[in-house]
Each structure stands twice: as C-alpha cells, then as structure tokens.
Amino acid sequence: MKTFRLGGVHPNDNKLSAAVPFKKVPVPAEVTIPLDQHIGAPATACVAVGDKVKVGQTIGQPGGFVSAAVHSSVSGTVKKIEKVRDAWGTYHNCIIIKTEGDEWLEDIDTTDALITECKLEPKQIIDKITASGIVGLGGACFPTQVKLMPPKDCKIDTLIVNAVECEPYLTHNHRLMLEKADEVFIGVQILLKALGIRKAIIGVENNKKDAIEHLKSLLPKYSKDYDITVAPLKLKYPQGGEKQLIQALTGRIVRSGALPASTGAVVQNVATVFAVYEAVQKNKPIVEMAMTVSGKDVKEPGNFIVRIGTPLTDVVNMAGGIPEGTGKLICGGPMMGRTMINTDTPANKRTSGVVMLPDDEAKRGVERNCIRCGKCIDACPMGLEPYLLATMSAKNMNDELEQHYIYDCIECGCCTFTCPSNRPLLDYIRQGKAAVMGIMRSRTPKK
C-alpha cells in the first residue's frame, strides 16, 4: 500500500467520532470574526461600526496577492472593529457583529440541490474562489487561488485531493466524504477545469474503508471526462503532509526550498474542494466550518458545522462540555495542534477541531538529557536531525540552523512523539525556525 519513504510514526488514531453525522451548532448571539484567518497579508475591513450586514457579505477585502477575503457569518449590526486577544494571548483585528435574524445574500443558494454542471471558464472559476475567501482547510489556510496560479515554470499535470486526515481524533473530513461525496467530486472537476488538466488522485488513509468504498462507488459517474482515481494509503502519520502525500501518490520529491507545484502536482484538502463546490456552484463563501470535538472522556464526541466567529465554548458544550479531569485543551489535533488556555476563542478557518485530553495523557514526562538514540532522526519524514536542531535553537545558533535546513521542518511533531528523554524537540525547533525564517525574509528585497 502506498506511503511516503522517510520516517513517520504510528500514534493511536482514536477516531471516536467517525460514525457520528454532522450536527449544526446554533447561530450565536454575537460573532467575533478575525481578519487574519489565513497565511499572508490580513484582510482589510470594508465595513464600519453600525453597518447592517447579511450572511455571506464581504466584510474584509484581501490585503494582497497572498491573502483572502473575509465574510460575515451572520446577519446583523457591526458592533465593534477592534483587536481581540485569542486563547494563546495573541491579539487579532476582529469584526464583532451582533446577530439579528439569519438573512443571507439573495444570490446564495442555501438549498441542498446538487448542481453538477459548471459553465464558467478557468479565470472565472479562480475569480469566484478568490471572492469567496477559499483557503486550505487542512490547517495551513494558504489562499486557494494562489495555488491555482502556479509559476509559469511549474507544469501542472495532477491534482491531489488530501483526504487523509491523519491527525488522531479528527474525523470531520471522513464525514464529509460520506455525507457530501457528490459535491466533493464536482469540486474536483471544477478544480481540474481551473487548472486545465484531466488527472486527479484522491488520497485516503486506509482506516476510512467506508469512505474509500463510497468514493469508489461514485467514480464511474464522475470519471467519464476526467482521469479521477481513489488511492488508499497506508496508515502512517504524517501521511497527510503535502510533501509526503505527493511522494506517496506520484513518487515525486519536493526538493528543499522548492514549491510543491515544482513536482507538477497541486494539493487541495478535501474540505477545500467541498468549499470550492459551494463557492462556484452555490455562490456561497466560507461562512461556516466543519470541525470535530473529541477526547476519551468527552461525553458526546462529534462532528459539527459551525458559523465562523462562534465561540468554541458553544461547540464544546454541544459535545457535553469539558470533562472533569481534563488536563489539556488542544485546538486542532494532538500532534500539530496548539494548546488553549480556554475555549473562549472564536471558530475560524484554521479551526479543525477541539481535542480534550485527560490529565494523565496531558502531562509531559520529566525532560532528561539526550541519549543520542537517533529515534527522532528515524522518525523525521523530512530527513532532518531534530535533536541537533533543537539544541541549536536553544542556543540561538541561527546561521547553523539555516545550514542544517531547519526551514524544511513541517512541524509534524514526530520527533517529540518518539523521544525517550521527553525533550520538547518541536517546541525548540519552532522557535528556531521562526527566527531563521524571519532572517531569510529580511534578505528579500521589498518590491
């Protein structure tokens, strides 16, 4: 079965909510919508305090080429535009809207009717994706329209749909494939048309056999004019990493410092593909998110559809609240997610889930000296030396970090997962990587 070549680990997948259908979280009385829900320049507010808005209305214009539009997820009145601190202590420019009813823009199709034919030309598709604020919904939140306009020296021949969902506990992509497979396939066709190619591969990790079979059953319906295949993948983390997925499905390797598009492949998360369908066929921008709330002690682990800006507390309460004895709240999955101090932060395009770990699982072991066992090297899917990078990062050896390719780290956490000395390798490496990337950016002349 297909997989990537170097490293990887096998954490328990804990897909506790895989069989739980989506539930809609009630529209909140107030939403807090950040203007920087994506990689790149933050959006610029295009509404003012006191303005009336509808669901789907643009409230933030892209701040540059690598940026994304932001839309109102409720109808109501703009109450404030101010900096709001999130659950990690960082301030973000946000638009706060008081909800009044649930009135959508007139041209948005809110029905469940399936629209199969796309009559738009490639540029029109990309323009609509841009206007709809579509970003990579696998966690990176890279603006989708940028990926659909690769550099001229990158000859694209394959679209890869990342339906792996290799993070433990998270299951909303699994449910999306079971509940919205037709829409996903139409989204694939739309993206192929935008890229001007015919070949697409949908990669699914093999612990989702029902989703694999369901997608394969629909292939004859959607692969008449396109070369679309469904590829089961070996259960191994981080199978869903962009570079790892390209290697597993095409055998091509993304060179150090090169764009994934240099291999001839464009990768889009399955949730992004569904969002493309809704944007192009339904005129619906990203105003709501699919996410998972889970944990071994969570009363009702589940998958939820959440309006952007909804307090995560509302979503957690639908899963039964925070269990007694919870030691850690994680936004995202336990391998790459970030620890939260509370659930007051609003749901946004980066929010893939909330995982609540019991106290005995949340405690870190006592950190000891490195024993030079080499396990972190064996586990690293990028072929790096995590023990060395962590030591250099702790000593601020930035020149040496750059020479040892710290910028190639994908921050998957495999090194920390395998370390018998309980060293927080990824924490150190993230700090060093941020410093080195800042130095590298400072060398680039401003246009």
Say what the pLDDT of residue 7 is: 97
Q: Token pair of 74, please?
A: 């409720």
Q: Token pair of 24, please?
A: 């809609």
Say what the pLDDT of residue 111 is: 95
Beta bridge pairs of residue 159? 200, 266
Say what the pLDDT of residue 446 is: 62
Say what the pLDDT of residue 23 is: 98
In the chain, the amino acid numbered 257 is G
What's the CA dihedral at 315, 166, 417, 343 to 10 degrees?
A: -10
Alpha-carbon span 282 to 262, nearest angstrom: 32
CB 242 within 8 A of CB 261: no
How far, CA to CA in Å, does 14 sit from each of 17, 334, 406? 9, 11, 31
Say what the pLDDT of residue 447 is: 53
DSSP state of 367: P
Mean pLDDT by 10 residues, the chain (447 residues): 95 97 97 94 96 98 95 98 88 96 97 95 97 92 95 95 97 98 98 97 97 98 95 97 97 94 97 98 97 97 98 97 95 92 91 95 92 97 97 96 96 96 96 94 74
Say what the pLDDT of residue 66 is: 93
CB 128 within 8 A of CB 168: no
End-to-end Cα, the chain, rounded Å: 46
DSSP state of 41: S
Strand spans (E) along 66-132: 70-71, 76-85, 91-99
How far, CA to CA in Å, does 334 sit from each of 136, 239, 302, 420, 442? 19, 15, 16, 18, 33
